[in-house]
Amino acid sequence: MLFDYDHPAAWPTDVVALLDEHRPTLEDWVTERRFASPYEYDEIIGELGETLRPHEIMAWHNTRLTAREAADILSAGMHLPSVETLIRRIDSALAEGAISPAVAEGFKRRHQADSPTRVGRIWFLFTRPHNDDGIEDFLRFWGGEALYAAIDRDPDLGPALRSVGVPSVVEAAIPIRNFTDSLGFESHIAKQFCAWRAGRSYNGVPHDRLLVPLGPAHVRRIVTCNDPSFVGLTGCDRYFEPLGLTEER
């Protein structure tokens, strides 16, 4: 069953039953901590992780894509990032005339695709992008953080990053069992549940990285800035600096 973090009322019944069973302990842990111990909490979170495993989770990857890149994701899924995959993207953008040879050389010389926090990791949000105020640059600059982190303010390379492709959100339904060493999204789920049951809000931003490729069957859609639902999904109309929703070069 599909797990949609933003809508607890529609969560799978086995997940809700487990959380309701342990709700007094969870509620105490996330609020006053009068009696709940870390050992009890960790045990519940471990049980929650096992209960979630058979399900798929809604997830969003925020990026900037050319039409060809979007088509490739829809047909072949998402590959794990690496230096080699970034170089291929740069070469393809050059071949398509989206960047000049000088810009392509600058991209290749100054990327950070070999960073241990980026190589072999596809990052996803488990809440809709408009709930995260840190996604702007992923939509603003082509090539991902491995490319823009070092050169977004470069007077020559920075503008080129803004001109390739269009802001895009890859929406996926990912088997939870594929997140083999969670960064803690189960705790966000527990806190979201307690807040929902108590009638209060919780503004956590659950996210994690996929360490295996994402097959095309798990890609639900790609929402680009030309889609009427893009503004509502991303909240880009509230950005201090306009995103620049222009046609791709």
Nearest to 185 by CA among 127, 130, 132: 127
Which residue range is the domain that position 116 belongs to? 1-249
Model-level pTM? 0.94
> Mean pLDDT per 10-residue run, the chain (249 residues)?
97 98 97 95 97 98 96 97 96 96 96 91 97 94 92 92 95 96 94 98 96 98 95 92 60
Total domains present in the chain: 1
- In three state form, how does the secondary structure of 11-27 look? CCHHHHHHHHHCHHHHH
Tokens of residue 97, six digits = 């005339």
Report the pLDDT value the prediction gives residue 243, as an integer from 0 to 100.
78
Report the pLDDT value the prediction gives residue 247, as an integer from 0 to 100.
42
